[in-house]
Amino acid sequence: KKSCCLKGLSFFLLYRRHGLWFRLRRLIIWLLGVYIAIPFLVKLCPAIQAKLVFLNFVRVPYFIDLKRPQDQGLNHTCNYYLQPEEDVTIGVWHTVPAALWKNARGKDQLWFEDALGSSHPVILYLHGNAGTRGGDHRVELYKVLSSLGYHVVTFDYRGWGDSVGSPSERGMTYDALHVFDWIKARSGDNPVYIWGHSLGTGVATNLVRRLCERETPPEALILESPFTNIREEARSHPFSVIYRYFPGFDWFFLDPITTSGIKFANDENVKYISCSLLILHAEDDPVVPFHLGKKLYNIAATSRSFRDYKVQFVPFHTDLGYRHKYIYRSPELPRILREFLGIPEQEHHH
C-alpha cells in the first residue's frame, strides 16, 4: 500500500512538473509570437507609431478642469480659446508676472491681453508629448518663470487636452505660429522668447526656423531636454530597448514614423535659425538621452546661422536628479536665465 502511495505521489509530482513546464512553454511561445508580431503590426499601421510619438490620448492628471487654472495654484492666469484655422480650437493659458498678481485678481480676458503690453518679457512655452498644459512639472515651471518677471503663455496643441483637432507635426507647428503671432500683436516692443521641452523642442525649432525665414525671429530660443531628430530619439527611447537589436529595426519602427510625416528635425532646423540659443539638459535624463542634447548643441555651435548669436549649453549633473522634467527645481535656473537673456535684475521686480 505504501509503495502504491509513493508511486501515486511521484506520478502526481511528475505530472505537476510537466503540467507547469507545459504551461510555461506555452506562455513563452505566446510571448515570442507577440514579440515578433508587433513589428509587423507597426509596419502595416504607421498610425500606431504616430500615436506613440504624440501620446496625446494620455491625459495626466486626468480630472483637472483646464478652464480653471486657479485649481492648479495659478491664481494670476487666464484661460483663452483661439482658432488657428477652421475646425481647430486650442486652449491657452496666460500667466502674468508675479508682480502683477494683485492687479490680476478678478480681471477679464481683455485685461490679461492688455497686460502683455506691460514692460515684462514674454515666454511662449511649448510642452512635450502626453498630458496637457496643466501637467504638474509644467505648472511648476510657469510659477518659477512668473516669479522671475515673465509672462508665460502656453497651450495644448490640437488633439491635446481640451484642444480640438487631429495631431500632426504640421498642425502643432501651425498652432505655435498662431499663438506667437497672437502674442506679438499684443506685446508691443517686449521681448518674446520661445521655450520648448522634449517633443516641444521639435515644435520650437520648426517654429523658429519659420520665423527666421520670414524675418520675424524671437529674441531667444530655449530648448530643454532636446533631441537631434525624431528617428534618433525613437532609437534611444526606453520603449525601443527590447527591439533595438531586432533585425530590420529601422525598417519596422523608424520608417513608419517618417511615413506618418513626423520628422521634428532639430538638427536640420538649427542650420536655419538666427537668434540666441540656450540648451538645458540633465545628464540623467532617461527619456531623451543627454548625448542627443549635446550633439544638437555641437551642430548649432558650428552652424553659420548662429555666427552673430550666443549659443550656450547648460548640463545638470546626475547627482541633482532632475532627469527628464525637473530642471525647474534648479536653484541656479534664475541666474542662468538672467545671464543668458540679459534681463537686468531690477526688471524682474517691477
Residue 187 bears catalytic tag: no
Bridge partners for 279 per DSSP = 223, 313
| Active-site residue identified among 156, 237, 285, 303 | 285
One-letter amino acid at 336 equals I
What string of DSSP letters covers 120-181? S-EEEEE--SSS-TT-HHHHHHHHHHHHTT-EEEEEPPTTSTT-BS---HHHHHHHHHHHHH
| Active-site residue identified among 163, 187, 198, 276 | 198
Q: How far apart are CA 33 and CA 35, in angstroms?
A: 5
Q: How many helices (H) and strands (E) does the chain have?
A: 13, 8
Residue 285 bears catalytic tag: yes
Q: Among candidates 222, 241, 235, 239, which has minimal Cα distance to 296?
A: 222
Find the DSSP H helices in 290-343: 290-301, 333-341
Q: Of all helices (H) and strands (E), which one includes residue 233? A: helix 230-236
The set of catalytic residues is 198, 285, 324
